[in-house]
């Protein structure tokens, strides 16, 4: 009996121990579960943060790119994450949107359909002795009316390289530029890198873009500047086929790299010399810099000309 009671007691004690073990296990499991949940939440948070950074850098990089739909993006940007990641990329991407550097002919990619004709066209890189030409690419834009006003006030003629698709959006600026006596050149329809396209793609770009500008301006366009200054033998063949001259540049003040007009002015005036063809873009800071640029060029005794209009 005594043994039996002891057994029961022991059994009971053992049960109690098991129960308390189960309870302890339960507490530990709950703790592990909580820890796991916390980890998962942290990982989720960091995923979102990474996502936000990627998105924010993408949006930042697209500020000057066409067809961006920033408003539809539901992600709230964390401004803390933007600066260190975005700034180095921003210049890189912005640079890719504009003409810059020293243009030179690129080889035709061997896998692309290309012309069998070998072009002897020589692009224009400079103007004459004692002369300087200001060229302005990528218009017309919403800023072009202001630009034309500044040029009128400073009695200066420039050479525009207009995009076909932009000419349709701002037709009035094209006709005003022509009316004011500026030279109008062609800069493709949608600003693609022509050297990455086969001859048919380049041809289509020429025809659509020129067609769009001619809907607005019926004058014959004789000057072509390839986007980014990127051209190959096919581009030269097509330029000749369209009875056009290719105009590049020999002075790149990198006006796209700053929004400070005084820096644009300083860059232009520190490089300018007789024969300069200066590549600039239809941007507010460049427009704001133009009066000082024009004044500075004239002060050096140089004459501002268009590429060919003044010689006709
Ligand atoms: Zn351009």
- pLDDT confidence of residue 38: 45
- In this structure, are 149 and 285 located in the same domain? yes
Q: CATH number, domain at 255?
A: 3.20.20.370
- For the residues 12-17, what does the mean pLDDT come to? 44
Cα separation, 147 vs 140, in Å, equals: 10
Cα-to-centroid distance, 265 and ligand 1 (Å): 20
Last residue of a domain, one of 63, 78, 113: 63
Going from the Cα of 107 to the center of ligand 1, the distance in angstroms, rounded, reads 20
Q: How far is the CA of 227 from the centre of ligand 1 (A)?
A: 5
pLDDT tens-digit profile of 280-289?
A: 999 999 999 9
Distance (angstroms) between ligand 1 centre and the Cα of 92 equals 15
Residues 147 and 287 in one domain: yes
Distance 179 CA to ligand 1 centre (A): 23
Mean pLDDT is lowest, of 8-17, 19-28, 54-63, 170-179, for 54-63
- Over the stretch 106-141, which tens digit does the pLDDT of each residue have? 999 988 999 999 999 999 999 999 999 999 999 999
Which pLDDT value is given to residue 96? 75
The Å distance, Cα 178 to ligand 1 centre, comes to 19
- Domain edge (last residue) among 36, 63, 90: 63
Residues 153 and 247 in one domain: yes
pLDDT at 256 over 70: yes
Distance from the CA of 39 to the center of ligand 1, in angstroms?
49
Model pLDDT, residue 110 = 85
Looking at the structure, do residues 138 and 216 belong to the same domain, yes or no? yes
- What are the tens digits of pLDDT across the range 58-108? 333 333 333 333 333 333 333 334 333 343 444 444 667 899 999 999 999
- Cα 138 to averaged position of ligand 1 atoms, centre (Å): 5
CA of 43 to the centre of ligand 1 (A): 43
Q: What is the pLDDT of residue 149?
A: 98
Q: Scanning the structure block, which residue is given the tokens 């499991």?
A: 29
Report how many domains make up the chain.
2
Q: Judge whether 39 lies within some domain.
A: yes
pLDDT, averaged across the chain:
79
Confidence of residue 5 (pLDDT cuts 50, 70, 90): very low
Write out the two tokens for 228. 């980014």
Last residue within a domain, chosen from 9, 34, 63: 63
């Amino acid at each position: 009996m005594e043994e039996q009671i002891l057994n029961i007691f022991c059994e009971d004690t053992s049960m109690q121990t098991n129960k308390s073990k189960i309870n302890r296990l339960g507490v530990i499991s709950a703790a592990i579960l909580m820890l796991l949940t916390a980890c998962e939440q942290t990982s989720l948070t960091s995923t979102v943060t990474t996502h936000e950074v990627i998105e924010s850098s993408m949006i930042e990089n697209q500020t000057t790119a066409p067809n961006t739909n920033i408003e539809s993006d539901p992600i709230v940007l964390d401004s803390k994450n933007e600066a260190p990641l975005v700034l180095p990329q921003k210049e890189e991407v912005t640079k890719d949107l504009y003409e810059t550097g020293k243009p030179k002919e690129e080889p035709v990619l061997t896998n692309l359909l290309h012309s069998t004709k070998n072009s002897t066209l020589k692009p224009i890189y400079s103007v004459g002795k004692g002369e300087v030409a200001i060229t302005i690419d990528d218009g017309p834009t919403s800023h072009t009316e202001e630009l034309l006003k500044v040029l009128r006030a400073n009695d200066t003629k420039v050479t525009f390289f207009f995009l076909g698709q932009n000419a349709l959006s701002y037709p009035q600026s094209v006709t005003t530029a022509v009316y004011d006596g500026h030279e109008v050149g062609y800069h493709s329809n949608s600003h693609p890198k022509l050297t990455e396209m086969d001859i048919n793609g380049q041809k289509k770009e020429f025809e659509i873009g020129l067609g769009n500008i001619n809907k607005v301006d019926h004058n014959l366009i004789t000057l072509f500047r390839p986007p980014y200054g990127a051209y190959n033998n096919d581009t030269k063949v097509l330029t000749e086929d369209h009875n056009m001259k290719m105009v590049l540049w020999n002075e790149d003040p990198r006006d796209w790299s700053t929004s400070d007009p005084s820096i644009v002015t300083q860059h232009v005036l520190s490089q300018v010399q007789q024969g300069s063809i200066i590549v600039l873009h239809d941007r507010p800071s460049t427009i704001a810099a133009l009066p000082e640029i024009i004044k500075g060029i004239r002060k050096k005794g140089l004459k501002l000309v268009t590429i060919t209009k003044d010689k006709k």
